[in-house]
Amino acid sequence: MRTAMATAIVGDDVYGEDPTVNLLEKRLASLLGKEEGAFFPSGTQSNLSAVMAHC
């Protein structure tokens, strides 16, 4: 596990530089038939974003 973590290609997901998060967002958007996806680390954050998008 440590070897995998040490050799993983990572980036800052806030700036859209993390390839793992980018792949997750693209796969889910494709699966759901949407143009783009957004990953939120918590339900609270995603709920707040959903409410703010509709106001």
Would residue 9 be called left, alpha or beta, if left means φ above 0 and alpha means ψ between -120 and 50 degrees? beta
**pLDDT for 10-37, tens place per residue?**
999 889 899 999 999 999 999 999 999 9
Q: With 90 as the cut, is the pLDDT of residue 43 above it?
A: yes
Other CB atoms within 10 A of residue 18 CB:
18
| pTM value > 0.85 | no
Q: What was the pLDDT predicted at 31?
A: 96
Phi, psi of 2 (to 5 degrees): -65, -40
Looking up tokens 């958007």 gives 29
